[in-house]
Each structure stands twice: as C-alpha cells, then as structure tokens.
Structure 1
C-alpha cells in the first residue's frame, strides 16, 4: 500500500484521530494536524509519488521516542512509518507533543 499511497488519500483525515502502535503492541492516540504535499522533494526517477509530510499531535505524556511505528486510521488502514520530532521546534506545545512522518 505504501508504494501507491498519495497525499490525496490522507488529506481528508486532517483533524481526525489516528492510532500509533509500537513494536511491543502498545497503542496511543494521535491527532493528524496537517498533511502537506512536498513537490520540491519529488525525484520522478526514484518514485512516481510526490512526497508528503504528515504532522501529528500526541499527548504531553508519554513522549514518543523517534522510531518506526505502525499508524492506523479506520478509512486508511495501517501504515508503517518513521516518526520524528520536527527539527524546527522543540516538538512540544502547551497541548501536546508534535511528531512528523515523511512519505517520499
């Protein structure tokens, strides 16, 4: 599914709840707060898909370490991605921690 997944498949889920599952099976609710297409990152010779970036808001605790996770949404299904804390911010806000997943 990841090779055919497009920005338009996910954009309608902004402001909706997603589930994050770690390698031990623990789950945590996240909210998708933005989905941004990144045409400047596109390398057509490597992939036909235009890359996109998903930004999530998680709770204040626990802080989720960067790593590989399974993200799921009822309308999308399960996706595997590397969750990172954005470099342009500390990753935290008053209402939770921000995380990002890039799909290249």
Structure 2
C-alpha cells in the first residue's frame, strides 16, 4: 500500500493528529506539520510517483529513535513499516521534536 500513496493523500491531513505505534504496541501522538513534494528527487525510471517528505511534530519526551513504525490516521488508515527519522539536530523546538518520513 505504501507504494500507492502520493503527496495528495497526505496534504489534507496537515495540522492534524496522527498516531505512531512501535513494535511493542506503544503509541505516541504526532501532528503532521508539513507534506512537501520533492520533484528534484524524482527518478521516473524507478517510480512514477513524485517523492515527498512528511514532517511530524511529537512531544518533548520521549524522543523516538529512527526505526520502522505504524502510522495511523482516521482518513488514511494504518501504514505499516514506515521509516521514521528523528531530526535531533535541526528538529528540536520548544514545543516538541520533529520527525520525517520520506516516500521515494
């Protein structure tokens, strides 16, 4: 299912809450703060989809490590096996920590 999703699927959910679940069933609330197409990353011979980047804001604690997670949203459903990358160096804010998900 992940390979069928596009930027257009996520754009309506910007500024909405998502749920992140780890392999042990622990959950964390995140907010999607941006969904941006990255046409300069596009390699049409590898994929017809224009790559895009999702940025999420999570709480100050806990900070989640990079890994595979399940992302859930009421309008989109459960997305299993999503690689979430913490943005520790540039993503710390007073109101939380930023995380990114790349779709190539």
What's the counterpart of residue 3 of structure 2?
3
Structure 1 segments unaligned to the other structure (5+ residues): none
Count of aligned pairs between the two proteins:
103
What's the counterpart of residue 42 of structure 2?
42
The two structures, once aligned, show a CA RMSD in angstroms of 1.2
Question: How far 1:38 moved relative to its partner?
Answer: 0.4
Question: How far 1:87 moved relative to its partner?
Answer: 7.0
What's the counterpart of residue 24 of structure 2?
24
**Greater share of residues in helix:** 2
Runs (4+) of structure 1 exceeding 4 A deviation are none
What's the counterpart of residue 60 of structure 2?
60
Offset from partner CA, 1:15-37 (integer Å, 9 cap, x none): 00000000101111000000000
What's the counterpart of residue 98 of structure 1?
98
- Normalised by the length of structure 1, the TM-score is 0.94
What's the counterpart of residue 81 of structure 1?
82
